[in-house]
Chains A and B, each alone.
Chain A
Protein backbone atom coordinates (compact mmCIF):
# COMPACT_ATOMS: atom_id res chain seq x y z
CA UNK A 1 0.00 0.00 0.00
CA UNK A 2 1.39 3.41 -0.94
CA UNK A 3 0.52 6.78 0.63
CA UNK A 4 -2.69 8.50 -0.53
CA UNK A 5 -3.47 12.21 -0.39
CA UNK A 6 -6.55 14.41 -0.68
CA UNK A 7 -5.83 16.76 -3.59
CA UNK A 8 -9.17 18.54 -3.85
CA UNK A 9 -12.55 18.80 -2.17
CA UNK A 10 -15.97 20.10 -3.16
CA UNK A 11 -19.38 20.29 -1.55
CA UNK A 12 -22.83 21.76 -1.96
CA UNK A 13 -24.53 23.33 1.01
CA UNK A 14 -26.57 20.73 2.91
CA UNK A 15 -30.28 21.54 3.07
CA UNK A 16 -33.07 22.05 0.57
CA UNK A 17 -32.15 22.05 -3.14
CA UNK A 18 -35.64 21.77 -4.64
CA UNK A 19 -34.69 23.03 -8.10
CA UNK A 20 -31.47 21.04 -8.49
CA UNK A 21 -31.26 17.40 -9.58
CA UNK A 22 -29.16 14.89 -7.66
CA UNK A 23 -26.92 14.54 -10.73
CA UNK A 24 -26.32 18.31 -10.84
CA UNK A 25 -25.52 18.42 -7.11
CA UNK A 26 -23.03 15.58 -7.46
CA UNK A 27 -21.44 16.88 -10.69
CA UNK A 28 -20.94 20.39 -9.28
CA UNK A 29 -19.35 19.10 -6.05
CA UNK A 30 -17.05 16.74 -7.96
CA UNK A 31 -16.15 19.36 -10.56
CA UNK A 32 -15.21 21.74 -7.74
CA UNK A 33 -12.92 19.08 -6.23
CA UNK A 34 -11.19 18.45 -9.57
CA UNK A 35 -10.77 22.17 -10.33
CA UNK A 36 -9.49 22.92 -6.84
CA UNK A 37 -6.81 20.23 -7.20
CA UNK A 38 -5.74 21.69 -10.55
CA UNK A 39 -5.30 18.23 -12.09
CA UNK A 40 -6.40 16.92 -15.49
CA UNK A 41 -9.67 15.00 -15.21
CA UNK A 42 -8.66 12.67 -18.05
CA UNK A 43 -6.13 11.14 -15.62
CA UNK A 44 -8.83 10.04 -13.13
CA UNK A 45 -8.80 6.24 -13.08
CA UNK A 46 -11.87 5.34 -11.03
CA UNK A 47 -15.03 6.87 -9.57
CA UNK A 48 -16.95 5.60 -6.54
CA UNK A 49 -20.30 7.13 -5.69
CA UNK A 50 -22.06 6.77 -2.35
CA UNK A 51 -25.85 6.92 -2.44
CA UNK A 52 -28.54 5.21 -0.41
CA UNK A 53 -32.12 6.15 -1.33
CA UNK A 54 -32.16 7.54 -4.91
CA UNK A 55 -33.90 4.29 -5.89
CA UNK A 56 -36.95 4.55 -3.61
CA UNK A 57 -37.12 8.38 -3.44
CA UNK A 58 -36.16 9.43 -6.98
CA UNK A 59 -36.51 6.27 -9.08
CA UNK A 60 -32.97 6.87 -10.36
CA UNK A 61 -30.09 4.42 -10.27
CA UNK A 62 -26.74 4.11 -12.14
CA UNK A 63 -25.75 7.44 -10.62
CA UNK A 64 -22.01 6.68 -10.80
CA UNK A 65 -22.10 6.46 -14.58
CA UNK A 66 -24.44 9.43 -14.95
CA UNK A 67 -22.17 11.63 -12.82
CA UNK A 68 -19.00 10.52 -14.66
CA UNK A 69 -20.73 11.31 -17.95
CA UNK A 70 -21.63 14.80 -16.73
CA UNK A 71 -18.06 15.36 -15.54
CA UNK A 72 -16.61 14.30 -18.89
CA UNK A 73 -14.49 11.51 -17.42
CA UNK A 74 -12.89 8.82 -19.61
CA UNK A 75 -14.35 5.28 -19.90
CA UNK A 76 -13.18 4.36 -16.41
CA UNK A 77 -14.87 1.99 -13.95
CA UNK A 78 -17.64 3.91 -12.17
CA UNK A 79 -19.26 2.16 -9.23
CA UNK A 80 -22.12 3.05 -6.93
CA UNK A 81 -21.69 1.70 -3.40
CA UNK A 82 -24.41 1.34 -0.79
CA UNK A 83 -24.09 0.82 2.94
CA UNK A 84 -27.09 2.84 4.17
CA UNK A 85 -25.91 6.04 5.92
CA UNK A 86 -22.27 4.90 5.59
CA UNK A 87 -22.44 4.85 1.77
CA UNK A 88 -20.29 8.00 1.44
CA UNK A 89 -17.61 6.69 3.77
CA UNK A 90 -17.51 3.41 1.88
CA UNK A 91 -17.14 5.27 -1.46
CA UNK A 92 -14.20 7.16 0.05
CA UNK A 93 -12.54 3.95 1.21
CA UNK A 94 -12.87 2.33 -2.22
CA UNK A 95 -11.33 5.38 -3.90
CA UNK A 96 -8.56 5.27 -1.28
CA UNK A 97 -7.91 1.57 -2.02
CA UNK A 98 -7.85 2.19 -5.79
CA UNK A 99 -4.96 4.64 -5.30
CA UNK A 100 -3.25 2.87 -2.37
CA UNK A 101 -3.04 -0.43 -4.26
CA UNK A 102 -1.71 1.25 -7.40
CA UNK A 103 -4.75 0.45 -9.53
CA UNK A 104 -4.75 4.12 -10.53
CA UNK A 105 -3.00 7.37 -9.52
CA UNK A 106 -6.18 9.45 -9.17
CA UNK A 107 -9.61 8.38 -7.93
CA UNK A 108 -12.75 10.35 -7.28
CA UNK A 109 -15.16 9.70 -4.38
CA UNK A 110 -18.57 11.36 -4.62
CA UNK A 111 -21.58 11.21 -2.30
CA UNK A 112 -25.04 12.52 -3.13
CA UNK A 113 -28.61 12.39 -1.84
CA UNK A 114 -31.95 14.12 -2.40
CA UNK A 115 -34.55 13.72 0.35
CA UNK A 116 -36.40 16.96 1.11
CA UNK A 117 -38.98 16.59 -1.70
CA UNK A 118 -40.47 13.53 0.04
CA UNK A 119 -42.76 13.60 3.11
CA UNK A 120 -41.55 12.31 6.49
CA UNK A 121 -43.30 8.93 6.21
CA UNK A 122 -41.76 8.31 2.77
CA UNK A 123 -38.29 9.33 3.99
CA UNK A 124 -38.64 7.13 7.09
CA UNK A 125 -39.74 4.25 4.83
CA UNK A 126 -36.81 4.76 2.45
CA UNK A 127 -34.30 4.89 5.33
CA UNK A 128 -35.99 1.84 6.84
CA UNK A 129 -34.76 -0.15 3.81
CA UNK A 130 -31.65 -0.50 5.98
CA UNK A 131 -33.56 -2.54 8.59
CA UNK A 132 -33.45 -6.33 8.50
CA UNK A 133 -36.98 -7.02 7.31
CA UNK A 134 -36.91 -10.65 8.33
CA UNK A 135 -36.08 -9.60 11.88
CA UNK A 136 -36.39 -6.28 13.79
CA UNK A 137 -38.04 -4.54 10.84
CA UNK A 138 -41.19 -6.64 11.25
CA UNK A 139 -41.90 -4.97 14.61
CA UNK A 140 -42.12 -1.51 13.04
CA UNK A 141 -38.81 -0.43 14.54
CA UNK A 142 -37.40 2.75 12.99
CA UNK A 143 -33.96 4.34 13.24
CA UNK A 144 -35.16 6.97 15.74
CA UNK A 145 -36.63 3.96 17.56
CA UNK A 146 -33.29 2.14 17.65
CA UNK A 147 -31.68 5.16 19.30
CA UNK A 148 -34.67 5.66 21.58
CA UNK A 149 -34.07 2.12 22.88
CA UNK A 150 -30.39 2.89 23.35
CA UNK A 151 -31.05 6.20 25.14
CA UNK A 152 -33.41 4.66 27.70
CA UNK A 153 -30.94 1.94 28.59
CA UNK A 154 -27.98 4.38 28.58
CA UNK A 155 -29.65 6.84 30.95
CA UNK A 156 -30.61 4.08 33.34
CA UNK A 157 -27.17 2.47 33.29
CA UNK A 158 -25.03 5.61 33.54
CA UNK A 159 -27.38 8.10 35.17
CA UNK A 160 -27.18 10.57 32.27
CA UNK A 161 -29.93 13.19 32.35
CA UNK A 162 -32.01 14.79 29.63
CA UNK A 163 -30.07 18.04 30.16
CA UNK A 164 -26.69 16.25 29.82
CA UNK A 165 -27.70 14.85 26.44
CA UNK A 166 -29.17 18.22 25.41
CA UNK A 167 -25.63 19.61 25.75
CA UNK A 168 -24.72 17.66 22.59
CA UNK A 169 -27.61 19.32 20.73
CA UNK A 170 -26.71 22.82 22.01
CA UNK A 171 -23.09 22.39 20.94
CA UNK A 172 -23.75 20.98 17.46
CA UNK A 173 -26.59 23.40 16.68
CA UNK A 174 -24.34 26.25 17.84
CA UNK A 175 -21.41 25.03 15.72
CA UNK A 176 -23.75 24.83 12.74
CA UNK A 177 -24.52 28.55 13.01
CA UNK A 178 -20.95 29.31 11.93
CA UNK A 179 -20.72 26.72 9.13
CA UNK A 180 -21.83 28.19 5.78
CA UNK A 181 -22.69 24.67 4.52
CA UNK A 182 -24.94 23.84 7.49
CA UNK A 183 -28.69 23.51 7.14
CA UNK A 184 -29.97 23.94 10.69
CA UNK A 185 -27.64 25.83 12.96
CA UNK A 186 -29.48 27.36 15.91
CA UNK A 187 -28.94 28.96 19.28
CA UNK A 188 -31.14 26.74 21.45
CA UNK A 189 -31.64 26.79 25.20
CA UNK A 190 -31.57 23.58 27.23
CA UNK A 191 -35.24 24.25 27.96
CA UNK A 192 -36.21 24.55 24.28
CA UNK A 193 -34.45 21.27 23.52
CA UNK A 194 -35.99 19.46 26.50
CA UNK A 195 -39.51 20.70 25.80
CA UNK A 196 -39.58 20.14 22.03
CA UNK A 197 -42.18 17.72 20.75
CA UNK A 198 -41.55 14.01 21.19
CA UNK A 199 -40.60 12.07 18.05
CA UNK A 200 -39.69 8.65 19.40
CA UNK A 201 -39.56 8.64 23.18
CA UNK A 202 -37.29 9.79 24.70
CA UNK A 203 -36.00 11.43 21.47
CA UNK A 204 -37.43 14.88 20.86
CA UNK A 205 -37.34 17.05 17.74
CA UNK A 206 -33.85 18.57 18.15
CA UNK A 207 -32.35 15.19 19.05
CA UNK A 208 -32.92 14.09 15.44
CA UNK A 209 -30.96 15.17 12.35
CA UNK A 210 -32.98 16.68 9.50
CA UNK A 211 -33.56 15.16 6.06
CA UNK A 212 -31.30 16.93 3.56
CA UNK A 213 -30.28 17.33 -0.04
CA UNK A 214 -26.58 17.63 -0.78
CA UNK A 215 -23.42 16.31 -2.36
CA UNK A 216 -19.73 16.24 -1.49
CA UNK A 217 -16.67 14.98 -3.35
CA UNK A 218 -13.00 14.27 -2.73
CA UNK A 219 -10.21 13.74 -5.27
CA UNK A 220 -7.54 11.31 -4.03
CA UNK A 221 -4.07 11.02 -5.56
CA UNK A 222 -0.82 9.13 -5.10
CA UNK A 223 2.31 10.88 -3.86
CA UNK A 224 3.88 11.25 -7.30
CA UNK A 225 1.00 13.49 -8.40
CA UNK A 226 1.45 15.92 -5.52
CA UNK A 227 3.85 18.27 -7.30
CA UNK A 228 0.96 19.42 -9.52
CA UNK A 229 -1.61 19.82 -6.74
CA UNK A 230 -2.61 23.40 -5.94
CA UNK A 231 -4.01 23.25 -2.35
CA UNK A 232 -2.07 22.04 0.66
CA UNK A 233 -2.45 18.25 0.48
CA UNK A 234 -3.80 16.17 3.35
CA UNK A 235 -2.62 12.59 3.82
CA UNK A 236 -5.02 9.71 4.40
CA UNK A 237 -3.35 7.83 7.25
CA UNK A 238 -6.03 5.17 7.56
CA UNK A 239 -9.29 4.07 6.01
CA UNK A 240 -10.99 1.19 7.80
CA UNK A 241 -14.36 -0.47 7.37
CA UNK A 242 -16.09 -3.09 9.47
CA UNK A 243 -19.46 -4.77 9.62
CA UNK A 244 -21.67 -5.27 12.62
CA UNK A 245 -24.89 -7.16 13.23
CA UNK A 246 -27.92 -6.08 11.24
CA UNK A 247 -30.10 -7.24 14.15
CA UNK A 248 -30.52 -5.89 17.65
CA UNK A 249 -30.14 -9.40 19.00
CA UNK A 250 -26.75 -9.65 17.32
CA UNK A 251 -25.22 -6.65 19.08
CA UNK A 252 -23.42 -7.34 22.34
CA UNK A 253 -25.30 -4.37 23.86
CA UNK A 254 -27.79 -1.63 22.87
CA UNK A 255 -25.31 1.07 23.96
CA UNK A 256 -22.46 0.15 21.60
CA UNK A 257 -21.93 -0.61 17.92
CA UNK A 258 -19.32 -3.32 17.46
CA UNK A 259 -18.77 -2.14 13.85
CA UNK A 260 -17.54 1.22 15.15
CA UNK A 261 -15.28 -0.43 17.73
CA UNK A 262 -13.75 -2.73 15.08
CA UNK A 263 -13.33 -0.02 12.42
CA UNK A 264 -11.76 2.34 14.98
CA UNK A 265 -9.31 -0.31 16.18
CA UNK A 266 -8.42 -1.03 12.55
CA UNK A 267 -7.94 2.65 11.74
CA UNK A 268 -5.80 3.42 14.81
CA UNK A 269 -3.60 0.41 14.03
CA UNK A 270 -3.29 1.38 10.36
CA UNK A 271 -2.38 4.98 11.26
CA UNK A 272 -0.13 3.92 14.13
CA UNK A 273 -1.72 6.42 16.51
CA UNK A 274 -3.99 6.39 19.56
CA UNK A 275 -7.23 8.25 20.15
CA UNK A 276 -5.27 10.78 22.24
CA UNK A 277 -3.42 11.97 19.14
CA UNK A 278 -6.62 12.95 17.28
CA UNK A 279 -7.11 16.75 17.14
CA UNK A 280 -10.69 16.84 15.86
CA UNK A 281 -13.47 14.40 15.08
CA UNK A 282 -16.43 14.40 12.71
CA UNK A 283 -18.68 11.55 13.84
CA UNK A 284 -22.09 10.15 12.97
CA UNK A 285 -24.50 12.06 15.26
CA UNK A 286 -27.70 11.06 13.46
CA UNK A 287 -29.26 11.49 16.92
CA UNK A 288 -27.94 13.27 20.01
CA UNK A 289 -27.47 10.01 21.92
CA UNK A 290 -25.59 8.60 18.90
CA UNK A 291 -22.79 11.15 19.34
CA UNK A 292 -22.27 9.92 22.90
CA UNK A 293 -22.29 6.23 21.97
CA UNK A 294 -20.05 6.82 18.93
CA UNK A 295 -17.51 8.85 20.90
CA UNK A 296 -17.27 6.10 23.51
CA UNK A 297 -17.03 3.39 20.81
CA UNK A 298 -14.21 5.37 19.17
CA UNK A 299 -12.32 5.34 22.47
CA UNK A 300 -12.41 9.13 22.77
CA UNK A 301 -13.81 8.90 26.31
CA UNK A 302 -14.61 6.22 28.88
CA UNK A 303 -17.94 4.35 28.79
CA UNK A 304 -20.67 6.37 30.43
CA UNK A 305 -18.71 9.63 30.28
CA UNK A 306 -19.98 10.88 26.91
CA UNK A 307 -22.87 13.00 28.13
CA UNK A 308 -20.70 14.55 30.84
CA UNK A 309 -17.99 15.47 28.32
CA UNK A 310 -20.56 17.42 26.28
CA UNK A 311 -22.06 19.11 29.35
CA UNK A 312 -18.59 20.17 30.56
CA UNK A 313 -17.69 21.67 27.15
CA UNK A 314 -14.89 19.19 26.53
CA UNK A 315 -16.26 18.34 23.05
CA UNK A 316 -16.62 22.02 22.04
CA UNK A 317 -14.42 23.52 19.31
CA UNK A 318 -12.09 24.84 22.02
CA UNK A 319 -12.38 21.75 24.24
CA UNK A 320 -9.81 18.98 24.65
CA UNK A 321 -11.90 16.53 22.53
CA UNK A 322 -13.49 18.65 19.77
CA UNK A 323 -16.37 16.73 18.14
CA UNK A 324 -18.45 17.85 15.16
CA UNK A 325 -17.11 21.39 14.78
CA UNK A 326 -19.09 21.39 11.51
CA UNK A 327 -22.36 21.11 13.43
CA UNK A 328 -22.50 17.39 12.66
CA UNK A 329 -25.50 15.65 11.18
CA UNK A 330 -27.73 17.36 13.77
CA UNK A 331 -27.03 20.87 12.47
CA UNK A 332 -25.15 20.54 9.19
CA UNK A 333 -27.72 18.04 7.90
CA UNK A 334 -27.70 14.43 6.72
CA UNK A 335 -28.01 13.86 2.96
CA UNK A 336 -27.30 10.23 3.79
CA UNK A 337 -25.11 9.14 0.85
CA UNK A 338 -23.12 12.40 0.98
CA UNK A 339 -22.55 12.54 4.75
CA UNK A 340 -19.36 10.47 4.91
CA UNK A 341 -17.71 12.63 2.25
CA UNK A 342 -19.01 15.82 3.87
CA UNK A 343 -17.13 14.71 7.00
CA UNK A 344 -13.92 14.37 4.95
CA UNK A 345 -14.55 17.82 3.43
CA UNK A 346 -14.88 19.39 6.89
CA UNK A 347 -11.82 17.56 8.20
CA UNK A 348 -9.64 18.64 5.26
CA UNK A 349 -10.61 22.27 5.92
CA UNK A 350 -9.60 21.77 9.57
CA UNK A 351 -6.21 20.31 8.57
CA UNK A 352 -5.63 23.16 6.12
CA UNK A 353 -6.39 25.54 9.00
CA UNK A 354 -9.22 27.09 7.02
CA UNK A 355 -12.39 26.02 8.84
CA UNK A 356 -14.92 28.60 10.02
CA UNK A 357 -14.94 26.70 13.35
CA UNK A 358 -11.19 26.09 13.31
CA UNK A 359 -9.81 23.76 15.97
CA UNK A 360 -6.57 25.40 17.00
CA UNK A 361 -3.49 23.56 15.76
CA UNK A 362 -5.46 20.67 14.22
CA UNK A 363 -2.98 18.09 12.90
CA UNK A 364 -4.89 14.80 12.87
CA UNK A 365 -8.60 14.42 12.07
CA UNK A 366 -10.87 11.37 12.39
CA UNK A 367 -14.15 10.76 10.60
CA UNK A 368 -16.76 8.16 11.57
CA UNK A 369 -19.68 7.15 9.33
CA UNK A 370 -22.20 4.55 10.55
CA UNK A 371 -24.83 2.76 8.46
CA UNK A 372 -28.09 1.02 9.31
CA UNK A 373 -28.40 -0.66 12.67
CA UNK A 374 -24.61 -0.56 12.89
CA UNK A 375 -24.33 -3.00 9.96
CA UNK A 376 -21.55 -0.95 8.29
CA UNK A 377 -19.03 1.54 9.60
CA UNK A 378 -16.06 3.41 8.19
CA UNK A 379 -13.42 5.25 10.21
CA UNK A 380 -10.85 7.41 8.43
CA UNK A 381 -7.84 9.22 9.84
CA UNK A 382 -6.32 12.20 8.02
CA UNK A 383 -3.12 14.14 8.74
CA UNK A 384 -2.00 17.62 7.74
CA UNK A 385 1.12 17.85 5.56
CA UNK A 386 3.51 20.75 6.06
CA UNK A 387 2.83 23.49 3.56
Chain B
Protein backbone atom coordinates (compact mmCIF):
# COMPACT_ATOMS: atom_id res chain seq x y z
CA UNK B 1 0.00 0.00 0.00
CA UNK B 2 1.40 3.37 -1.02
CA UNK B 3 1.49 6.12 1.58
CA UNK B 4 1.09 8.91 -1.01
CA UNK B 5 -1.47 11.42 0.28
CA UNK B 6 -4.52 11.93 -1.98
CA UNK B 7 -6.49 14.65 -0.21
CA UNK B 8 -10.17 15.34 -0.63
CA UNK B 9 -12.10 18.10 1.10
CA UNK B 10 -15.27 17.21 2.99
CA UNK B 11 -17.11 18.63 6.01
CA UNK B 12 -16.67 17.96 9.71
CA UNK B 13 -19.06 19.03 12.45
CA UNK B 14 -17.17 21.18 14.95
CA UNK B 15 -19.69 20.20 17.64
CA UNK B 16 -19.81 16.41 17.41
CA UNK B 17 -17.14 15.41 14.88
CA UNK B 18 -19.55 13.88 12.34
CA UNK B 19 -18.04 13.77 8.83
CA UNK B 20 -20.17 14.43 5.72
CA UNK B 21 -19.51 14.71 2.00
CA UNK B 22 -21.47 17.98 1.97
CA UNK B 23 -22.54 20.53 1.07
CA UNK B 24 -24.74 20.63 4.14
CA UNK B 25 -25.90 23.50 6.36
CA UNK B 26 -26.61 21.50 9.52
CA UNK B 27 -24.90 18.44 10.96
CA UNK B 28 -27.01 15.38 10.05
CA UNK B 29 -26.35 13.92 13.53
CA UNK B 30 -26.55 16.83 16.04
CA UNK B 31 -28.01 19.60 13.80
CA UNK B 32 -25.22 22.01 14.69
CA UNK B 33 -24.61 24.70 12.03
CA UNK B 34 -20.84 24.46 12.56
CA UNK B 35 -19.98 22.31 9.54
CA UNK B 36 -16.37 23.11 8.71
CA UNK B 37 -14.18 22.06 5.79
CA UNK B 38 -11.69 19.33 6.58
CA UNK B 39 -9.21 17.48 4.40
CA UNK B 40 -9.18 13.71 4.60
CA UNK B 41 -7.28 11.00 2.79
CA UNK B 42 -9.03 10.01 -0.45
CA UNK B 43 -8.57 6.26 -0.14
CA UNK B 44 -11.46 3.85 -0.07
CA UNK B 45 -13.38 0.97 -1.58
CA UNK B 46 -15.43 0.81 -4.81
CA UNK B 47 -19.11 0.21 -3.93
CA UNK B 48 -20.48 0.25 -7.48
CA UNK B 49 -20.19 1.95 -10.84
CA UNK B 50 -22.23 2.46 -14.00
CA UNK B 51 -21.52 3.69 -17.51
CA UNK B 52 -23.72 6.60 -18.60
CA UNK B 53 -24.01 6.23 -22.36
CA UNK B 54 -26.92 8.65 -22.85
CA UNK B 55 -26.06 11.78 -20.83
CA UNK B 56 -28.54 14.61 -20.17
CA UNK B 57 -28.03 17.83 -22.13
CA UNK B 58 -25.65 19.55 -19.70
CA UNK B 59 -23.26 16.57 -19.65
CA UNK B 60 -23.55 15.74 -23.37
CA UNK B 61 -19.94 16.65 -24.13
CA UNK B 62 -18.66 14.30 -21.39
CA UNK B 63 -20.34 11.09 -22.56
CA UNK B 64 -19.90 8.25 -22.21
CA UNK B 65 -18.66 8.54 -18.63
CA UNK B 66 -18.57 6.21 -15.64
CA UNK B 67 -20.21 7.30 -12.38
CA UNK B 68 -18.80 5.55 -9.31
CA UNK B 69 -19.67 5.35 -5.63
CA UNK B 70 -16.73 4.97 -3.25
CA UNK B 71 -16.71 4.49 0.53
CA UNK B 72 -13.75 6.42 1.91
CA UNK B 73 -11.83 4.84 4.78
CA UNK B 74 -13.00 7.73 7.02
CA UNK B 75 -16.57 6.39 6.61
CA UNK B 76 -17.91 8.94 4.11
CA UNK B 77 -19.59 7.78 0.87
CA UNK B 78 -18.70 9.82 -2.24
CA UNK B 79 -20.30 9.89 -5.71
CA UNK B 80 -17.87 10.78 -8.49
CA UNK B 81 -16.44 9.38 -11.69
CA UNK B 82 -13.94 6.74 -12.68
CA UNK B 83 -10.87 8.46 -14.17
CA UNK B 84 -10.58 5.78 -16.88
CA UNK B 85 -13.89 4.98 -18.61
CA UNK B 86 -14.28 1.19 -18.84
CA UNK B 87 -16.00 0.59 -22.18
CA UNK B 88 -15.82 -3.16 -21.51
CA UNK B 89 -16.73 -4.80 -18.21
CA UNK B 90 -13.31 -6.42 -18.09
CA UNK B 91 -11.60 -3.01 -18.06
CA UNK B 92 -13.36 -1.95 -14.84
CA UNK B 93 -12.02 -2.43 -11.33
CA UNK B 94 -14.07 -5.09 -9.48
CA UNK B 95 -16.51 -4.04 -6.76
CA UNK B 96 -14.62 -3.88 -3.49
CA UNK B 97 -11.40 -2.75 -5.20
CA UNK B 98 -9.18 -0.28 -3.37
CA UNK B 99 -9.65 3.15 -4.97
CA UNK B 100 -7.99 6.53 -4.59
CA UNK B 101 -9.10 10.07 -5.36
CA UNK B 102 -7.03 11.37 -8.28
CA UNK B 103 -8.40 14.84 -8.92
CA UNK B 104 -11.63 16.49 -9.91
CA UNK B 105 -13.56 19.06 -7.90
CA UNK B 106 -16.41 19.14 -5.39
CA UNK B 107 -19.07 16.59 -6.36
CA UNK B 108 -17.00 15.54 -9.37
CA UNK B 109 -14.27 13.62 -7.60
CA UNK B 110 -12.31 11.31 -9.88
CA UNK B 111 -11.28 7.87 -8.71
CA UNK B 112 -8.65 5.43 -9.94
CA UNK B 113 -7.60 2.02 -8.63
CA UNK B 114 -5.20 2.60 -5.73
CA UNK B 115 -2.47 0.50 -7.39
CA UNK B 116 -2.75 2.28 -10.78
CA UNK B 117 0.56 3.08 -12.38
CA UNK B 118 2.64 1.47 -9.70
Residues of A at the B interface (CB closer than 8 Å) are 120-122, 124-125, 128, 134-142, 144-145, 148-153, 156, 198-203, 247-250, 254
Q: What are the residues of chain A within 8 A of B69 when measuring CB–CB?
A: 149, 248, 254
Q: Check A249/B76 contact, CB under 8 A, given A139-B108, A254-B48.
A: yes
A200 touches B21 (CB 8 A): no
Which residue of chain A lies nearest to B81 when distances are taken between CB atoms in the complex? Answer: A139
A149 touches B49 (CB 8 A): yes
A139 touches B47 (CB 8 A): no
A152 touches B56 (CB 8 A): no
Residue from B21, B55, B95 within 8 A of A124 (CB atoms):
B55
Q: What are the residues of chain A within 8 A of B54 when measuring CB–CB?
A: 120-121, 124, 142, 144, 199-200
Q: What are the residues of chain A within 8 A of B55 when measuring CB–CB?
A: 121, 124, 140, 142
Bound: A152/B66 CA distance, A = 13
Q: What are the residues of chain A within 8 A of B47 when measuring CB–CB?
A: 149, 153, 254
Known: A124-B55, A198-B53, A199-B54. 15 other contacts (CB 8 A): A124-B56, A134-B107, A135-B23, A138-B107, A139-B79, A141-B79, A142-B55, A144-B50, A198-B51, A202-B50, A248-B69, A249-B20, A249-B78, A254-B48, A254-B69
Bound: A144/B59 CA distance, A = 14
Give the top 10 A-B pairs by smallest Cβ distance, nearest first: A138-B107, A148-B50, A201-B51, A249-B77, A124-B56, A125-B56, A140-B59, A149-B48, A153-B48, A125-B57
B60 touches A144 (CB 8 A): no
B51 touches A249 (CB 8 A): no
Bound: A120/B59 CA distance, A = 13
Q: What are the residues of chain A within 8 A of B109 when measuring CB–CB?
A: 139
Interface SS of chain A: helix
Residue from B57, B67, B76 within 8 A of A139 (CB atoms):
B67
Is B106 an interface residue when CB atoms closer than 8 A count as contact? yes
Q: What are the residues of chain A within 8 A of B51 when measuring CB–CB?
A: 148, 198, 200-201
Among B55, B60, B95, max chain A CB count under 10 A is at B55
Shortest CB-to-CB span from A158 to chain B, Å, is: 13
Shortest CB-to-CB span from B11 to chain A, Å, is: 12
Bound: A241/B59 CA distance, A = 33
Q: What are the residues of chain A within 8 A of B42 when measuring CB–CB?
A: none
Bound: A247/B23 CA distance, A = 11
Within 8 A of A (CB), among B80-118: 80-81, 89, 95, 106-109
Bound: A142/B56 CA distance, A = 8
A248 touches B77 (CB 8 A): yes
Q: What are the residues of chain A within 8 A of B21 when measuring CB–CB?
A: 135, 247, 249
8 contacts between A and B (CB under 8 A): A124-B57, A138-B106, A138-B108, A139-B108, A140-B56, A140-B65, A140-B67, A248-B77
B56 touches A121 (CB 8 A): yes
A121 touches B80 (CB 8 A): no
Q: What are the residues of chain A within 8 A of B81 when measuring CB–CB?
A: 139-140
Q: What are the residues of chain A within 8 A of B23 when measuring CB–CB?
A: 134-135
B49 touches A128 (CB 8 A): no
Bound: A39/B62 CA distance, A = 55
Q: What are the residues of chain A within 8 A of B38 when measuring CB–CB?
A: none
Among A140, A153, A248, A250, max chain B CB count under 10 A is at A140
Bound: A203/B67 CA distance, A = 14
Shortest CB-to-CB span from B74 to chain A, Å, is: 13
Shortest CB-to-CB span from B89 to chain A, Å, is: 7
Q: What are the residues of chain A within 8 A of B107 when measuring CB–CB?
A: 134-139
Q: What are the residues of chain A within 8 A of B49 when measuring CB–CB?
A: 149, 152
Shortest CB-to-CB span from B52 to chain A, Å, is: 5
Q: What are the residues of chain B within 8 A of A151 when measuring CB–CB?
A: 50
A152 touches B95 (CB 8 A): yes
Q: What are the residues of chain B within 8 A of A140 when measuring CB–CB?
A: 52, 55-56, 59, 62, 65, 67, 81, 108
Q: What are the residues of chain A within 8 A of B28 when measuring CB–CB?
A: 250
Q: What are the residues of chain A within 8 A of B57 when measuring CB–CB?
A: 121-122, 124-125
